[in-house]
Amino acid sequence: MKKENKSNIHITVQTKGGVGKTTVSGIVATLLYLLNENQKINLFEIDDNNNSKINSNYINYQSLKLKDSEVVIDDIQFSNLSDSNVANIVDAGGGNDTKIVLQKLKEIDLSGLNYYVPLNDDLDQVNNIKETIVLIRDFDKFANINLVLNRCFSLEKDEIQKQFINIFGSDELDIPNQLDNLKVNNIFFIPNSNIFSILKSHYKVSLLDSYLSSIDLIQNIDTYRQEWIKEGQDVFKANNKRYRFAKMVVELIEQLKPIQKAL
């Protein structure tokens, strides 16, 4: 009997909404592709309160409602057992959406999965994080749980600890350190960048597609500039703006690459 390759199932959950689960799912999809561009990547948004419309030439993206969660999870398990070259990502909504998705995973004993639990620097979210981790550990003792600190003002260790006193605590303010209580496998960091919202709301394109086009633009910039010159100064200046944005996207991906060790 073929052994199930559970490492290719990635679940982004948190019982609090608006913490960056969709952003994290897009990052996971991007980094998975960069590790193996030959694999097929499915990204399922299961959310009754959100319907993201993101275009991608590389990711099979579907936005679904909770009523579809059982069928989707069964399909994920089947594809995971039958094809090791498929990566499945689930982006669950907050509140009951996350709870129901985790319950559906529990019902079929789907364990040993990769979980990504985003967190902002809001003190109240500690309870949501604890609740989410308890729900996962309740049925998945072998889960690889990754705490993802979102919207970090700086990626310097000392600055992160100051910003996220909800996790690292503060002796000065008598706020306890929560790390020992959370039982997570890894902690990762996402910089506070407007690139995510620009891609989602303005360009409506995935982070992966933007990164690949940015790499092409940067690597072939001399050729592109010769083409732009032929079209006039206004076109040249407009495309130089594209080039500046491309450099920002590539820099962002470099900052996010440490997350690859969890994939």
Residue 7 tokens, joined? 């490492």
Class of residue 155 by CB neighbours under 10 A (exposed 0-12, middle 13-18, buried 19+): middle
The answer, yes or no, to whether residue 82 has pLDDT greater than 50, is yes
Q: In what order do the strands lie in the sheet with 86-92?
A: 59-64, 40-46, 86-92, 9-12, 114-119, 144-152, 186-191
pLDDT in tens, 207-216: 999 999 999 9
User: In the prediction, which pLDDT does 263 show?
Assistant: 86
* Residues paired with 116 in a beta bridge: 12, 146
CA 238, 201, 21, 32 torsion: positive or negative?
Answer: negative
Q: Are 190 and 147 in contact (CB under 8 A)?
A: no
Cα distances from 7 to residues 124, 206, 236, in angstroms, run 31, 23, 45
Q: How confident is the model at residue 229 (pLDDT cuts 50, 70, 90)?
A: very high
Diameter of the chain by CA atoms?
A: 64
According to the CATH classification, is domain 6-196 in 3.40.50.1100?
Answer: no
Give the residue with greater pLDDT, 167 vs 201. 167
User: In the prediction, which pLDDT does 1 show?
Assistant: 30
pLDDT in tens, 238-252: 999 999 999 999 999
User: What amino acid is encoded at 86 in this protein?
Assistant: V
Residue 234 tokens, joined? 């206004």
User: In the prediction, which pLDDT does 58 show?
Assistant: 95
d(CA 62, CA 162): 38
Of 255, 215, 239, 205, which Cα lies nearest the Cα of 59? 205
Class of residue 171 by CB neighbours under 10 A (exposed 0-12, middle 13-18, buried 19+): exposed
Share of the chain above pLDDT 70, in %: 97
The answer, yes or no, to whether residue 5 has pLDDT greater than 70, is no
Instruction: Report the chain's mean pLDDT, rounded to a whole number.
Output: 93
The answer, yes or no, to whether residue 38 has pLDDT greater than 70, is yes
Of 51, 71, 70, which Cα lies nearest the Cα of 61? 51
pLDDT in tens, 190-211: 999 999 999 988 899 999 999 9
The answer, yes or no, to whether residue 2 has pLDDT greater than 60, is no
Give the residue with greater pLDDT, 118 vs 54. 118
User: In the prediction, which pLDDT does 80 show?
Assistant: 86
User: In the prediction, which pLDDT does 3 show?
Assistant: 36
Q: How confident is the model at residue 180 (pLDDT cuts 50, 70, 90)?
A: confident
The answer, yes or no, to whether residue 23 has pLDDT greater than 90, is yes
Residue with the two structure tokens 């060790």: 261
List strand residue ranges (DSSP E) for 101-142, in order.
Answer: 114-119
Sketch the domain layout of the chain as residue ranges.
6-196
